[in-house]
Amino acid sequence: MTALSYYLNYDLKQAITKHRLVGLWRLMHGFEWKYVGATLSLGIAATAKTVTYLLLRYFVDTFFASDTTPFSVGWIAAGFLALALVEGSFTFLSGRLAAQTAESVARRLRNYLYDHIQHLSFAYHAETDTGELIQRSTSDVDAMRRFYADQAIGVGRIVLLFLVNFAAIYLLNPRLAWLSIIVVPLVVAVSLFFFKKVSDAYEAYQEQDAVLSTTLQENLTGVRVVKAFARQEYEIKKFEADNLEKFFRGKKLLTMHSLFWPVSDILCGLQMLGGFYAGAMMAINNEISFGTYLAYAGLVVWIIFPMRNLGRLIVQMSTGMVSFNRIMEIIKQDREPLDDGDYSPAGKITGNIEFKDVCFEYEKGSEVLRGINFECRAGQSIALLGSTGSGKSTLVNLLPRFYDYNGGSILLDGVELNRYPRRFLRQQIGIVEQEPFLFSRTIRENITYGVGRQVSEEEIEKAARAAAIHDVILSFPKGYDTLVGEKGVTVSGGQKQRIAIARTLLKDPRILILDDSTSSVDTETEAEIREALQNLMRNRTTFIIAHRIQSIMNADLILVLDKGQIIQKGTHETLATQPGMYRDIFDIQTRIDVELEKEVSSVG
Ligand SMILES: Nc1ncnc2c1ncn2[C@@H]1O[C@H](COP(=O)(O)OP(=O)(O)OP(=O)(O)O)[C@@H](O)[C@H]1O
């Protein structure tokens, strides 16, 4: 591992602490010396500036004493030039080092967050808005970058400028030095007051920004629904309302900033005026030389300037700190322990499954599944039927350990399910969603996604043929290299399904979960998908979440769920003859189908 990759792979959980400043320092791990270098460079630049004023004092006092020779004037001029050169070079060096630190820290933070978010649990993702995660991984990281590039380094610069110039004035005249910093406590107090106000205002602003991101992201993802229901006006109004709220919060934040400026400017202005007056009186009274006064007039600006900026930086730093907290809230989340589990068979599993009195609850006290009992042998198909919210998805989500059951026992090949590591289980289980997700990549990349091994062109084509999508892919301009989505072809729902089936075929899992994949397509596509599914289901234990009885008539076992319980189980033949929910649904669906057929034939 190279030094850079070591620093980039540093575990940022170590920055979790109650003290934000300590956390911010730890986030800089590996780059601290650069930050120190940047601060020292600033110190040197500040000292060079201060020495320039002391040289000015020397020049003026010796000039008025009329003993300056042309030779010493030359040296003094060279001194000014050299000091300007030192100041310029070290200011540049400092800016460079600070920028490098900030960019490196931000890069690591972004990579870490991306990696971390990939490993958070199913439950965390179900509860967290995507917009919120996007906001924290982009805008908040950027606020942190600014914090390191400008604010943190700025504080170092300001403290150094202040100390060096204070020391220089102290050398000129201690009384003048103390007189020059009378308002410091006041400026600090005002800054701290605004620090709190701006922190709160900024936090509220960022929260609203996340709401806006979520609204936008949801709207774009669900653009078909919006159009289908002609809800554009409603969505636009909703966005405008969210945006208006952001505007108000932004205005409040700016008001806080703009209130701070005049207050601190008045204080600093008074200080400068008082200092000039006191210095001038001392010069008139011959307590200090004219050169000293000139040097003081130059130096005092470099005390006031840091004082004024310290306030500004303290106020601005509050935004970095709020972003730090927001990012840390994600980093604090525990990753899903993918390799947790002591039983990991060398080869593939067989696929025998037994549920014994299984209970599950998302939140304590409200059971979503109760006393689930059934058994199936490897290669069988199990259909789940039931009203919406009855617990079908919850039940199948227990198999890949997206969630762990709270009671009872699930045996996979005779071994308790939670003894299998999640990673292993997920390699053995294939899921075809009702609305499969395809990435904006080529069709080939989508089909081979998650296979985890090198696959040949023949294998890809074989899977696509079995999924009845090969010919469709060839009809696209670039075949398997065609891009899916915005920059490529638009894939229909049925085509998406079949690409997802090809992807799952290549993965070759022992257990299959199918979320009724034929419910949203036309009859012709349904027939094609059904055939593709038959190929996919061969020799695999398959769970089918069904909405239509026709999709599950051939299942080896049908479970009818209601309010988290199995109320009927058996084959189609047995259930269709028993009174109960299954026969009721079957009768209704048959009646609808018959009437539809009648209508179609009457139109024809
Ligand atoms: N992540 C979650 N957190 C809390 N409750 C949840 C969560 N997911 C689902 N539920 C609740 O659990 C119950 C069962 O939901 P589930 O999605 O399993 O039903 P379903 O039968 O698959 O419904 P559908 O056919 O509509 O998809 C519902 O009351 C639902 O509100």
Q: What is the ipTM of this complex?
A: 0.96
Interstrand relation of 407-412 and 353-361 (parallel, antiparallel or unpaired): antiparallel
Q: What is the whole-number distance in angstroms between the Cα of residue 386 and the centre of ligand 1?
A: 12
CB 391 less than 6 A from any atom of ligand 1: yes
Residue 600 has pLDDT above 60, yes or no: yes
> What is residue 417's predicted lDDT score, i.e. its pLDDT?
94
Confidence label for 57 from pLDDT (cuts 50, 70 and 90):
confident
Helices and strands of the chain, counted as H and E runs: 21, 10
> What is residue 83's predicted lDDT score, i.e. its pLDDT?
92
CB 509 less than 6 A from any atom of ligand 1: no
Centre a 10 Å sphere on the Cβ of residue 318 and count the other Cβ atoms it contains: 23
CB 362 less than 6 A from any atom of ligand 1: yes
Interstrand relation of 565-570 and 407-412 (parallel, antiparallel or unpaired): unpaired
> What is residue 49's predicted lDDT score, i.e. its pLDDT?
85
CB 368 less than 6 A from any atom of ligand 1: yes
> What is residue 436's predicted lDDT score, i.e. its pLDDT?
84
Instruction: Give all domains of the chain, ordered by start, each with its CATH number.
Output: 17-331 (1.20.1560.10), 353-434+509-603 (3.40.50.300)
- The residue whose C-alpha atom lies closest to atom 3 belonging to ligand 1 is 362
Q: What is the whole-number distance in angstroms between the Cα of residue 401 and the centre of ligand 1?
A: 16
Confidence label for 517 from pLDDT (cuts 50, 70 and 90):
low
Contact 42, 283 (CB under 8 A): no
CA–CA gap between residue 119 and residue 115 (Å, rounded): 7
Contacts with 470 (C-beta within 8 Å, 6 or more apart), sequence order: 461, 464
Handedness of CA 210, 216, 222, 227 (dihedral sign): positive
Helices (H), 476-522: 493-507
Q: What is the whole-number distance in angstroms between the Cα of residue 394 and the centre of ligand 1?
A: 6
At 79, phi and psi to the nearest 5?
-60, -45
359: three-class secondary structure by DSSP: strand
> What is residue 211's predicted lDDT score, i.e. its pLDDT?
85
Reading the block at residue 269, the tokens are 């202005």
Q: If you compute the radius of gyration of the chain from its CA atoms, what whole number of angstroms results?
A: 35
Return the DSSP state at 335.
Answer: P
Mean pLDDT of the chain: 85
Q: What is the pLDDT of residues 298-309, one digit of tens each?
A: 888 888 877 778
Q: What is the DSSP string of 406-453?
A: SEEEEEETTEEGGGS-HHHHHHHEEEE-SS----SSBHHHHHSTT--S
- Residue 366 CA, chain-centre distance (Å), reads 31
> What is residue 1's predicted lDDT score, i.e. its pLDDT?
47
Question: Quick one: which H or E segment has residue 570?
Answer: strand 565-570
pTM more than 0.80: no
- The residue whose C-alpha atom lies closest to atom 31 belonging to ligand 1 is 389
Q: What is the whole-number distance in angstroms between the Cα of residue 121 and the centre of ligand 1?
A: 17
Confidence label for 487 from pLDDT (cuts 50, 70 and 90):
low
Residue 135 has pLDDT above 70, yes or no: yes
Contact 102, 145 (CB under 8 A): yes
> What is residue 2's predicted lDDT score, i.e. its pLDDT?
54
Question: What average pLDDT score do residues 379-404 get?
Answer: 91
Residue 485 has pLDDT above 80, yes or no: no
Return the DSSP state at 357.
Answer: E
CB 547 less than 6 A from any atom of ligand 1: no
CA–CA gap between residue 312 and residue 316 (Å, rounded): 6
Q: What is the pLDDT of residues 544-555, one digit of tens each?
A: 998 778 778 888
Contact 313, 305 (CB under 8 A): no
Question: Quick one: which H or E segment has residue 27?
Answer: helix 20-27
Question: What average pLDDT score do residues 284-294 get?
Answer: 87
128: three-class secondary structure by DSSP: coil
